[in-house]
Structure 1
């Protein structure tokens, strides 16, 4: 993913050593839930202790926290008082919110800026594409329960079309879900998978080999995965929400197809037929997500938080930002 940098901004991607002992002017937070351990094992306790140390460091040094909101609520609730408390402490230290999509109903006393998720044309544009396979339907990204991959597998197996195939690409975070996928593939030759983290070059070939990317999420607010597919000129089928309707209006009807959750076979087949009707559509309109615009908007936020809009001010931002491909 392209970093948000410029002549007077140095982006330092997250490491515990740098977060706790390094120098930076702003801490840019994306997913506070990653600081919350699962269960009560040694790793979870160590993560909790590190998170508390980081919170203390940010508080003592008065380091401003900027947070980018990717979702309304965490996808995987940790369900512990200590975990929820850690997330709330990061929220209390936050001085500025960046929203990826319009959120007119969100009640916040903090200053906010709408900065759309940047497209992936810049980082992926140089990578070779695959050859389109007629009938290929692809899901990609982290395989997590809320994404509805289990439902997609079940409904696909019920479709009596030998000209169609389903490809699932990504690392599972749930062993039972992974087993459901592998079992289905053993019983249905039309289903194949690559259940691991996939390098960018391989991911580009996987996506561009399909006619349609299907994201059968049970809920969707913003999605990096949707933008990856659109950046590679691959139509998507996504839940019908306020934000996905806005995305369809932005990029073009041919590229964004909607379904009312839960996904059903008819919606999947209808989207595929609509994709096939228009053989040579104009590319998705992603100009508003150009990274130069995204960089300039982030720089404006950083300057505001540091007090001033001084164009000559050097800024270091410790960016707690991982890959957004699987969201």
Structure 2
């Protein structure tokens, strides 16, 4: 029976321990590839009942082994090797992702199984060139065709960045101007403004912004010290959008609480307060909302995870599958 074009069988087919297999499944399907699920290998916290030990149905073009030892656990090492051999005879190509360079716990009983699987493998997905170098020192039987692709990030939404502006609202603090400017963008953020509104116009503007943008949490009113410190602990950044920064109790509290700070450079310099990395206390020489926000966005983007999305990774993976299929089968 010929293999089914653009089809893949993942091993394990499901994994109850993390979302890697499920997200790979969905991403591969979104590219148009058929994900086969013969119900042979499922990895769950409670032992899964094996529905069958022989292959029935369409033959996959690719068998993608994430954790081959799970197949050995499901079928037994000998039957697992026999099944992979049968699929190879039908034309299936085997790809491994080297999640683990070597078992975390020694399993001498699986040494032959792992070595045999490496010999059968047609292509390997490594997370980096260094990953490949180290892996080949331990796994000399792995094939030459290789893909370097970092571990994709999960689809879990990134948490909104939280910024706080605290203290009495006064014209020189430019709190309303800062709120309007930063919320004009589409950043995933929560802006907390809390303090007594000495400035009537700033209060009016902030109330209007809060009515139209749920990202602004505006809490006008006197803040007792205990409540201020409680709110301070809920934000990642403290912004002091002041035209001039002479001395500030909010600044000292923020630094003591290890919050990240965005401000104009203080009179006397930041060294008066200690030594801080640029991404911990971000200053601009002259306060300007747009310049400060640009610098803040640049800093935030550098501290965000840089791994590929599953959508991007899936396209790269299926290109690798196609390249493996186009290469003459490996002799084992």
Instruction: Report the TM-score when normalising by structure 1.
Output: 0.41
The structure whose RCO (Cα within 8 Å, separation 6+) is larger is 1
Instruction: Report the TM-score when normalising by structure 2.
Output: 0.40
User: Which is higher, the Rg of structure 1 or of structure 2?
Assistant: 2
